[in-house]
Amino acid sequence: MNIEEFRQYCLKKKGVTEEFPFDEHTLVFKVMGKMFALSGLVRLPPQVNLKCDPDRALELREMHDGNIFPGYHMSKKHWNTLLIENLSPQLIVELIDHSYDLVVSKMTKKLRAELEDLK
């Protein structure tokens, strides 16, 4: 998977927006205003950060040593950095979904209801 494929998949999810809140090189994806993914567009090899359950984050880092590691410039407990060219597209999609679902699960009832009402 490349960065554009990653971007397109993120944008297909309900309630997702993209923006550059930090600088012109860091693309951030938010669901209902809450960040669930980001990518440094000039980083080589291509990398993305995704939110992850802390126990699962540790497991993934062990299973994919060198390709999944603690979140770059993020909470090392709750975020992983993925080298997306070295991982299967299926795993990346699964981890995008996991990150999105984690963020949605922590939203208020009101925000979740607004998300559900979106087309």
Domains, the chain: 3-117 (3.90.1150.30)
* Partner residues linked to 61 by β-bridges: none
pLDDT of residue 108: 94
Cα separation, 97 vs 42, whole angstroms: 24
Beta-carbon contacts of 28 under 8 Å, excluding residues fewer than 6 positions away, are 18, 19, 20, 21, 22, 35, 37, 38
Residue 23's closest CA among 42, 46, 7, 45? 42
pTM here? 0.94
Residues of the chain with pLDDT under 70: none
User: Nearest 5°: phi and psi at 47?
Assistant: -135, 150
Q: In the chain, what percentage of residues exceed pLDDT 90?
A: 85
pLDDT of residue 75: 86
